[in-house]
Structure 1
């Protein structure tokens, strides 16, 4: 497909990604309407529109760089204030609703497969394994399941396109839910109420949260240098364990689990960061600006999420796959909000848990930040990252079961 900006126009694409992320933040902090829907959605929808009007390409090595380097750097920066002892009490509740939401993902996969689309989509067992892993953990699990079950490349591409469009739509829905009075009346909203009580100025919520702070060159160097160091060490350790510990179909479940825990880059990254922050709290608490830098990197990530959501490609290659993933997300939402209501979880907890299932911990954390739910940022990052482990095993279990069943 011909586009105005070509996939190998590296500087033009980086200029767009970084520039549109900055514009999205500006709009979010300048206008109340933008604050209500969040800069994250503005970043995502803007990229999606430009991709669909053939201004920017839907695939490029630049986007791969964001996934491979920008996101890993953002994770530790956002965790610098997340002392595990301080968030443990709050994380327990989020973990429970996250697991409930994960059950919704599995239920959605089974409903979509057996009751709707089994006869119409080839290799649906492979797609089900990929999307079960992805809608509990994230893109890491999607890639792992695609490799494990040897899914054909064209099927992987079609599923990615459908998945990205649906994620864009669902994130928009989740962003808008707290603004609807129906949900405010039906669910507890302690974090929303706290934000509204503390915000007495004329500024919008995003501008109030991201007020100007003291930041020095030393702060920037410590934040960025420490983040680079943690990522490098974490990925090196994970790679070492991944090669050291055997895994695969012919290996016992113990070693597969151990490899999944110690050999996963993102789990090792989050674990090491949390340990360092807990052991050396004074050092990390003394660094100003880490959250700001990390959040800006996450906004670049949101731009990239919207890029592959090409409507022509979906209509051409993946209409039924889009229907399938829509069923999965709808069932996830029904289970999350239904059980969450009965068990008296707050609206914010349910929204973030479902967000972390479908999009991963980074999208959930970005939403919590954009809404001003600051007490939930660290916990949802921690709980959502655990989904990387859960997603691999849920996807593997579903895939192997369907492989033998169908």
Structure 2
């Protein structure tokens, strides 16, 4: 009944393994719609489902199908998420939330470097610093890209890191949601009314999906990856056949994806469904990564990663909220006006931090939940900016730590 590797589905049953991964992704989407499943994200349920399935022997811990996911599906995630990333609009409309997001990126990078220097994470601590920098700047798409770019292949550590990431992200989101309840804290920043705005703008839920729009989205993603691989191959050829520029693959993917999104935003907006496909593939990626996790080894690895993320998030929060308070204080002192355009409000900083740590989907959700519809659009825009800068920043930190 069982295969030679002890699993119900053999590693060489490629379609069966892929079917299992997509089924686990489906479970993640289904679970997060339930009242009990909303306690954590769908990504967490996909991770837990894959870990459970592999450790119970339902699916193999290692299989060629997992390699297929890493090699072919992950690169397509980035352009699918970036196909609506109009850089001009992000820069022009994100405003003060954009300033807060810059602080958030700086805080994440500094936190990752400090945590890596304080803790002993082994020989690949630089890669881990880059991976966490990416995910806490943009999100899962950047997380996957930097994992592939650095060649980090320890399934136990990656699965533990993903689990810790999702746990701490949920705790951090709860803390952000509670901050405005403090009148003392609110008084340290500019007072601004964020109650006006279009609640329906940029909700991340794609509509009017058709076969044409899906085909266009998938074609766009594959062409972007192909052009990026071509650029890397050309540069490597100039480097006498060495793989000197292979690490730039995901940087090129990012660049080639945002160029048409910026130069032809109206045409790119007609490609509905691409981001939904990307999200499905992201869940499949999480399942493939988690399937290789050995529970006993995972338990032994998670505590130090938890300490790493705690340090990173504390530094991130310090830079965002203390830095934001200092900017607001200086702006008010210079202008003598508490409503100075350069002064930042606490809600603006909260949405910026949320967009960096949790991505473009939760930032507008928190804005609406707290009664700040005016911050919905800026929250989405800086979240999309995180998709753009997360991968290059993560790779830069990994390279810096390795040097």
TM-score where L is the length of structure 2: 0.72
Structure 1: how far apart are the matches of 2:150 and 2:209? 42
Cα deviation, residue 285, structure 1: 1.5
Q: 5+ residue gaps in structure 1? A: 118-123, 147-155, 200-207, 249-255, 356-363, 401-406
Summarize the alignment of residues 2-401 of structure 1 with structure 2, pairs less than 5 Å apart: 2-29=6-33, 31-89=34-92, 90=94, 91=98, 93-113=100-120, 124=122, 126-137=123-134, 138=143, 141=146, 159-179=154-174, 182-183=178-179, 185=181, 198=199, 210=205, 213-245=207-239, 259=245, 264-314=248-298, 319=300, 322-342=302-322, 343=324, 344=346, 346-354=349-357, 364=359, 376-377=379-380, 379-400=382-403
> Separation in 2 of the partners of 1:309 and 1:108?
24
Q: 1:222 to 1:182 in 2, by over 3 A?
A: closer
The structure whose residues are more often helix, as a share, is: 1
Q: Secondary structure at the match of 2:391?
A: helix
* Equivalent residue number for residue 358 of structure 1: none
The C-alpha deviation readout for 1:91-147, integer Å capped at 9, x for no partner, is 55423311211111111111113xxx8xxxxxx3x222332333334455556656x
Aligned residues: 344
Greater Cα offset, 238-247 or 40-49: 238-247
Q: Which residue of 1 aligns with 2:372?
A: none
How far off is 1:369 after superposition?
Answer: 8.8
Distance 1:290 1:130, change over 3 A: closer
Shift of 1:234: 2.0
**Structure 1: distance between partners of 2:61 and 2:362:** 24
Identify if the C-alpha distance between structure 1 residues 85 and 247 changes in structure 2 by more than 3 Å, giving closer, same or farther: farther
Deviations 1:159-191 (A, max 9, x none): 541232132132133135434664563688xxx
Distance in 2, Cα, partners of 1:84 & 1:66: 29
Q: Structure 1 CA distance, aligned partners of 2:144 and 2:31?
A: 28
**Mean CA deviation greater in 86-95 or 364-373:** 364-373
Q: Following TM superposition, by how much is the alpha carbon of 1:367 offset from its aligned partner in structure 2, in angstroms?
A: 6.0
Contact 1:59 1:308 in 2 (8 A): yes
Q: Could you report, residue by residue, the CA deviation over 1:40-62 in whole angstroms, capped at 9, with x for unpaired residues? A: 22222222222233322222221
Report the CA distance between 1:299 and its aligned residue: 2.4
Contact 1:298 1:366 in 2 (8 A): no
Gaps of 5+ in 2: 135-142, 187-193, 325-345, 369-375
Deviates more, 1:266-275 or 1:134-143: 134-143
| TM-score, normalised relative to structure 1 | 0.71
Contact 1:104 1:333 in 2 (8 A): yes
User: Structure 1 322/44 Cα, relative in aligned 2: closer, same or farther at 3 Å?
Assistant: closer
Shift of 1:85: 1.0
Two-structure CA RMSD over aligned residues (Å): 3.7
